[in-house]
Amino acid sequence: MSRFAEFLGVLSTGVDTLASFERQAALAAGVSATRVREWERVFEVYYGSTSWTVKQHTAVEWARVGQFSIDQLVYIENRIKHVEPQALRWKLRLALLDAPGDYASLTRAAKQIVPVPETRSPRPGVTFTGSRGGYRSMMVTTHERDIADIEFNVTRNVDPTRPVAPQLVEPFMSLIRNGGTGVAHAVPRPLLLVPLPDYTRIVAGNGDEVVLGLSDGTTITGADYLQKHHGAELEVALFHPEEGAVNLYRTQRLANQKQRDLARATLTTCPVPGCRHGADSCEIHHITAWKHGGETNMANLAVLCRYHNRVNDDDPYRNWRGRVAMMRGTPTWVSPRGRPAANPRHPFGAMRSLYGR
């Protein structure tokens, strides 16, 4: 028998395979945390403590006789997890275990047996995506009449011979800008996050290919910066190649929010990998928590979005969600297993721009 055939044999005896389930062993073997949680949920159903011992014993026997795979057992739990009360959930679980077959036949049986969960009404809210190719997306959920009014306004002059969606952008932006009395155009603050050689190229008029990172998570070319903003009140941040942010100087006077500005210059986005939030919409985080004696100085400050600031493992003995640490002057997210990882989004922080890291 080949090793693959042995592997399939283990999968097809899912209930017996999971009888000796060990969470840490599975994680150490490189199994994804999501799959480990699924296996753990199945293990608790078939082998965990329960007041439904007779039904649990029956479920184990039927799963064994029907040779239900691990994936099939996981599917059953995912399909019935919304069902209440527990008695009905056990009834449906046994009904599905009484219909052995392949994965496709199980899904067909589930559609006939398991009631469809109630559809919840959407909650009002506004969400934004990160930048991609110079564009971002916004999704708005609000009262149907408000959306209907917007739709009517932006679709009045649509050309039916052309794709509709691209035509709606300009009238929508005109609607929210409202001729200058609505949403105002943001003016980037000229806080320099750029190495001196690139700055020299910009001032010399050769900045077309130089890309500057702004602390709101967007970018601007050196040529655009020179044309629109150079000569305004200028802020220059000083960075040490190992220690990071040192101080902040201005050509006119010292900034009132010096530490916040330096933290935003050090990292232009939340440092957690994949997070889209620019530094302008982040909070200031104490790397060593204030309650643990952390000081309010640049060596102990980082920008973190509101969500990651609240789930950060401030306690050094807790390793659940990961934490931010200062590494060679740059706030860096460290996984629960101790592995540092940078956020690849918007790589224009001062230490990256000045020293390539």
pLDDT tens-digit readout, 21-44: 999 999 998 989 999 999 999 999
**Predicted local distance difference test score (pLDDT) of residue 3:** 83
**Predicted local distance difference test score (pLDDT) of residue 70:** 92
Q: How many CB atoms lie within 10 A of CB 237?
A: 22
User: Over 50: is that where the pLDDT of 159 sits?
Assistant: yes
**Which neighbouring-strand residues pair with 235?**
191, 250
What is the rounded average pLDDT of the residues 90-95? 96
Indicate the pLDDT class of residue 255, thresholds 50, 70 and 90. Answer: very low
Question: At a CB cut-off of 8 Å and minimum separation 6, what does 336 contact?
Answer: 313, 319, 320, 321, 322
**Predicted local distance difference test score (pLDDT) of residue 320:** 85
Question: What tens digit of pLDDT does each residue of 187-201 get?
Answer: 765 555 545 445 445
pTM over 0.85: no
Pull the structure tokens for residue 311: 């789930």
What is the rounded average pLDDT of the residues 148-157? 95
CA-based nearest residue to 260, from 293, 288, 237: 237
- Proportion of the chain above pLDDT 70, given as a percent: 79
What is the rounded average pLDDT of the residues 114-126? 89
How does the average pLDDT of the chain come out, rounded?
A: 82
Contact 331, 267 (CB under 8 A): yes
**Predicted local distance difference test score (pLDDT) of residue 217:** 62
CA-based nearest residue to 219, from 231, 234, 209, 232: 209
